[in-house]
Amino acid sequence: MQVNFQVESDQKPNKYMIENILNNECDIILNDNITKTEKTEYNSETGKEEIKTIYKFDSYRLHNIYRDNLDEELSTTKGFKIWLNFAKKQYAEQIVEIPDSERIAVLEQAIIDIGEVIGNG
């Protein structure tokens, strides 16, 4: 599961895509919260500022089992919402792995901070 929030593109993204179909597996990309905005950018060729249309969105990538009716399922409003809710739930339940060295450094700093509070009190 991979999530990217506030992705920017100059092309309007599809609500979903199915990629990397291989050995009955695939990647499902779900794009949510798609908003159209304008952005002013400097064009070095013309030397002028230009207004460009960009799209911002949240993108969820799931690796899943491929089946023949997957595209049809994702193309319906209900099917898309079911998959999107599943992706959001998977993201919320992901366990973040923290390396031991980083965990120890955080604990050491917490001990120092506590010592300073106790020592100054």
Tens of pLDDT, residue by residue, the chain (121 residues): 788 888 999 999 999 999 999 999 999 999 999 999 999 989 899 999 999 999 999 999 999 999 999 999 999 999 999 999 999 998 888 766 667 777 777 778 878 877 776 775 4
Query: Is the Cβ–Cβ distance between 27 and 18 less than 8 Å?
Result: yes
State the pLDDT at residue 92: 85
Q: Would you list the domain boundaries of the chain? A: 2-120
Which tokens go with 74?
A: 């994702």
**pTM exceeds 0.75 for this model:** no
State the pLDDT at residue 12: 96
DSSP string for 61-112: EEEEE--TTHHHHHHSHHHHHHHHHHHHHHHHHPPPP--HHHHHHHHHHHHH
State the pLDDT at residue 93: 83
State the pLDDT at residue 121: 47
